Amino acid sequence: MGDRIDIAFVGAVVPDEVAYHTEAFNRSGDNFQRNLIAELARQPDMSVEVISILPVPSYPRGGSIWIGFRRFRLGLCRALLLPFVNITPIKQITIGLGVIAALVAWRLRSRQKRRVLLSYKLSVPPGLFTLLVS
Q: What is the pLDDT of residue 130?
A: 84
Q: Rounded to whole angstroms, how far apart are CA atoms 68 and 89?
A: 17
Q: What is the pLDDT of residue 2?
A: 61
- Length of the chain in terms of residues written: 134
Block means of pLDDT (10 residues each) for the chain, length 134 residues?
Answer: 85 92 92 96 94 94 93 92 96 94 92 86 76 82
Q: What is the pLDDT of residue 37?
A: 97
Number of domains within the chain: 1
pTM above 0.85, yes or no: yes
Strand order in the sheet with 77-81: 70-74, 77-81, 46-52, 5-11, 114-119
Question: Residue 95 belongs to what domain range?
Answer: 5-133
